[in-house]
Homo-oligomer: A and B are copies of this chain.
Amino acid sequence: MSRNANSGAPAPEGGWLDGEQQRAWLAYIRVQLRLTYEMNRQLQSDDDLSLPDYDVLTALSVADGGLMPITVLAAQIGWERSRVSHHVRRMAKRELVSCSPSANDRRVTEVSLTQHGRKVLEAAALGHVELVRRLFFDGLPRELVGPLSQALESVYANIIAQGTLPPPVDWRPPRGE
């Protein structure tokens, strides 16, 4: 087990991950693949929404005034801007969101939740949350919820720091170190 302290050089350099890390990584990948698939499927068949649709609606629903520039939205949900651009156009065609140019800065397109979009989201949230609880939390022992959060939050902070996408607007690195 833990033969090495933290961020020294615990891994076989230039090679693989060590045993413990490999176990964690395999578990992560497996969960990720199936969970994404299942969520997509449930939303699609129950609510006629894709998981990406749902991500967009959720982000907008918690935004101030249910309204957000495309760039900000992209940073919130970790997408490229062009992906957001394509996607909101399609969603606008389905009346889930609407896009309008900002008066302030005329380069900016503000994406907002429509009445219909909000209703669809509220309807979908129930089933989605139920699925998440059933697939994810029903399998997760109570005492591991905290450590899991801590672990993933650490990882997230690191991804923000090291990755190529900009952080969400409200992001601040967790407690000093």
Contacts and interface: CB of A to CB of B under 8 A. Distances in A.
Interface residues of A, number: 71
Given A11-B137, A164-B38, A27 B78 contact: no
Contacts of A82: none
Contacts of A159: 31, 34-35, 38, 135-136, 139
Contact of A148 (B7, B35, B151, B157): B151
A38 to B, nearest CB: 5
Contacts of A77: 33
A154 B135 contact: no
A79 B37 contact: yes
Contact of A5 (B14, B17, B21, B138): B138
B41 A164 contact: yes
Given A41-B164, A144-B147, A152-B31, A138 B20 contact: no
A104 interface: no
Interface of A: 1-2, 4-7, 10-11, 14-17, 20-21, 23-25, 27-28, 30-38, 41, 55, 77-80, 126, 129-130, 132-165
